[in-house]
Amino acid sequence: MKYCLTIVAILFSISAFSQSVLTGKITDQKDQPLIGVSVYVQSLQKGAVSDHTGKFEIAGLDKGTYKVSFSMIGYLTEVVEISVDGEGKLEWFQVLMEDLANLNEIVVSASRHSEFLSEIPASVTVVNEKQLEDLSQSTSNISEILEFTVPGLGVSTGTFSNWGQTLRGRSLLVMVDGIPQSSPLRNGQLGIKSVSPLDISRVEVIKGATSIFGNGGNGGFINYITKRPNASRKIEGTTSLWGTSNLAKTKDALGYGVYQSLKGKLDKFSYLVSGSFEQTGNKYDANGDVILPTYGLDNTQIVTGLAKIDYQLSDKQSITLGGNIYNSRQDTPFIPVPASFEVQENGDYTLTPGYGVEGSIEGEDPTGSKLINGQLTYNYYSIFRGSTDFATDLYYQNTKNVFFYSDKFENGGQSVINAEKFGIRPNFTSNIPTKGSTNITLIYGLDLLNDKTNQGLLDGRLWVPNIDMFSWAPYLQSTVKFDQNWVLKVGMRYDDMRLNIDDYNTLPYSALSDGNFTPSVAVEGGVIGFNNLSFNAGLRFIKHQEFIPYVSYSQGFSISDLGSVLRSATASNINDIQLEPAVTENFEFGFTSMFNNFKLEAVGYYSTSNLGTGVVFDESINSFVPSKQPQNIYGAEVALDYRAFDSKLLLGVSYSYVEGVNKSTGSGSTLTYLGGDVINAPKLTAYVTYNPSDKISTSLRMTSLGDRDRFDPYLDGAGNYTYRHTQFPVEGYTLVNWSANYQMLENLGLSLAINNLLKEFYLPARSQWAAPLKTFSGTGEGINAKLSLQYNF
């Protein structure tokens, strides 16, 4: 009996302390293995990532029942209960469904904390990795990808610049992993092209004024979330090769590109490194004419790179070091021939677009952008008795944007914007314990930023003086979830900025290229400051997927392109220049509805601002200056998606409408329509995707721009009828793109895309409303093709 008891005690002891290993495989609905699925045991804070065969393994599970989550961008998150008996290996098979609604998509930008898209009381568009991969088969131009996927965002300009590609009629802030790419001290409008789409895991677009990230985003912001080193093996990667050509005319039109990424996991280290090189050829319109090379995409060399290293310090701590580069260089053999137009008294007009001819400008340097981002991030989870997560990042950003040669300067010249940023952002996320079914989350922290910016000419003349800004901004955001039915979000942010501006002399400048140069003014610099307290609040009802409505109010705050004000100064002292920040208020109501295979999203909005977000021509000083008139902007967006035949057929359509008016500040106030640099013409997009088999997929996409004719001509000083700057009619156009992909092997795919399939001859919207400037009115590219090959290993 004694020996029996001893044996029982030993067996009981072994059983009590034995642990199991959870293994398994994750597939999609077609039984294809899913790579990179995050598997997480919530109570133990342990996790794993599925490998190239879809398999995963988590060791060290005691006997009991655990909640295990399976999540991946583009698929519905599954949370299941798994019972472990504490003996040996337990095998689990999980199937993930594609997420048509994207309502379970995890978003971090809306509140600086991971949350489900369905619970955010704001208008958010997420472009996931699969969408980016599919659309990258047609173009490497991220502006064109976002034009199609983001309702409310203006259409692409067809050039390297995104001037006029506003978000709901307001300026937008562009970020890479939260690092601001454009400087409101002198916004060069080049920020959208800051990273290769092949290096992006998802794009998060938050629309409307927001106090989440502060200065620069009166219309919202675009945050590129770059790929992470989520490998399961020591080395794996992707190789992509592609070639492009214009089909309207093929002379020297061939382009090519290559992309390579490598990632792996070595014990506690994970790494990712990637790079790409692209060379474009000549660009022709539908008639075979050379496209205007100003801000052009022809004969451009683009080099990109991304690197990240993750180190798991402990179960609760990690550190990540990363960064990216983006370098574009246009060295074109063409010089621009400006556009011309004639206007009749009744408003009828003829617009002859500009084009390129072979030649060179003596002393002109290649144009383009050089950008460097660096970031060190530290995470510490479950501090303060497990109630709080802490994250902080230290970042650096350096940009050099070289613009085209312009005769608007006395004796001509090329301008260049130089910007350098340093920042640190400690952020806390705390869960407040409550009784009952109410959950409270607080997000709070501090943004510190030092931004140094100037704009000069390559010959050494200074146009915008040296500006040294230091800002600090504490913030608090709260999320309250009631009974799993209601989500209330309330937050505030206080911005305090101090700017040190050097003494400078304004440059003689002829805004209309008519030889009438403004006089140079000596301006005494100094220190100026701005501060602002902004609020946001939103409420969303999430009980029924058939109708998930929300209502929100938010404020935005930004310095409206300070550099444009300073370079046009007529006062001799910085304190005598009217410098005022723009404060925007945004009201919106929207909803999402899901009915079987249908998904419907709709939103209406209205925003006001004390200042304008565009520039106007001031005839008294013969220069362009930021608008000082209050603005009212309103609009609506609607999107409908449908899937059929087990997701073999996908269809969708979206429509965006925005309009806005200026309110004069004098007596007897009047309303006038805002120009095209602020307000985009109505945009309609549609797509149909058909997957006849696991190996073949094809897609047809359409982007259609409507007309916008809000303005009357006037008589200029020479007695000719004309239109004012940015107040030129826009005539709509329709572009159709087609693409197909063939999966030759499990890890080898071939794709072909044809853009502007119908050979549309058109002028992008900016080429039309900017016609009074004559130097920006070029045609869009004619029919063109891209052939790609991708290999995964």
Which of 681 and 36 is assigned the larger pLDDT?
Answer: 681
Assess whether pLDDT exceeds 50 at residue 653.
yes
CA distance 706 to 683: 6
> Cα(48)–Cα(317) distance, rounded to whole angstroms?
16
Q: Residue range 25-36: average pLDDT?
A: 80
- The predicted-structure confidence for 441-465, as pLDDT tens digits, reads as follows 999 999 999 999 999 999 999 999 9
Backbone angles phi, psi at 286, to 5 degrees: -65, -20
Ranking 214-223, 311-320, 617-626, 687-696 by mean pLDDT, the lowest is 617-626
Judge contact between 237 and 601, C-beta under 8 A: no
Please tell me which of 28-42, 568-582, 611-625, 699-713 the model is most confident about, judged by mean pLDDT.
Answer: 699-713
Cα angle at 173 between 170 and 175, to 5 degrees?
A: 155
Give percent above pLDDT 70 in the chain.
93
pLDDT band at 666 (very low <50, low <70, confident <90, very high): low
* Average pLDDT taken over every residue of the chain: 89
Of 171-175, 393-397, 612-616, the range with the lowest mean pLDDT is 612-616
Question: Taking 50 as the threshold, does the pLDDT of residue 592 lie above it?
Answer: yes
- Collapsing DSSP to helix, strand or coil, 131 comes out as helix
Specify the pLDDT at position 475. 95
- Please, are residues 280 and 256 in contact by the beta-carbon 8 Å criterion? no
Ramachandran category for residue 85: left, alpha or beta (phi over 0 → left; psi -120 to 50 → alpha): alpha
Predicted confidence at residue 474, as pLDDT, reads 96
pLDDT at 14: 39
Query: Ramachandran region of residue 439, left (φ > 0), alpha (ψ -120 to 50) or beta?
Result: beta
User: Mean pLDDT throughout 244-252?
Assistant: 96
The pLDDT value recorded for residue 100 is: 54
- Provide the pLDDT confidence category of residue 777 given band limits of 50, 70 and 90: very high
Which pLDDT band, with edges at 50, 70 and 90, does 74 fall under? low
C-alpha separations of 77 from 30, 433, 530 in Å: 17, 25, 44
Query: Could you tell me which of 457, 664, 402 has the C-alpha nearest to residue 567?
Result: 457
Task: Give whole-number Cα distances, 712 to 348, 700, 706, in Å.
Answer: 10, 38, 19
Q: Specify the DSSP element, H or E, that contains 507.
A: none
Residue that wins the pLDDT comparison between 40 and 296 = 296
Query: Please, what's the b/e burial string for 73-88 (b: 16 or more CB within 10 A of its CB; e: otherwise)?
Result: bbbbbbeeebebebee
517 CB-side CA count, 13 A:
14
Among 219-223, 230-234, 453-457, the range of highest mean pLDDT: 453-457
Residue 503: strand pairing partners:
none
Query: Is the Cβ–Cβ distance between 702 and 694 less than 8 Å?
Result: no
Q: How confident is the model at residue 7 (pLDDT cuts 50, 70, 90)?
A: very low
Least confident of 92-101, 359-368, 404-413, 568-577: 92-101
Across residues 145-160, what is the average pLDDT? 94
Q: How far apart are CA 15 and CA 88, in angstroms?
A: 11
Return the pLDDT at 523: 93
**pLDDT over 90 for what percent of the chain?**
62
DSSP state of 436: T
Name the band, by pLDDT with cuts 50, 70 and 90, for residue 623. Answer: low
Q: How many degrees, rounded to 5, is the angle at CA 333 between CA 256 and CA 511?
A: 115
Residues 165-205: tens digit of each pLDDT = 999 998 888 999 999 887 778 888 888 999 999 999 999 99
At 692, the pLDDT band (50, 70, 90 cuts) reads very high
Are 497 and 544 in contact by the 8 Å Cβ rule? The answer is: no
Residue with more model confidence, 79 or 32: 79
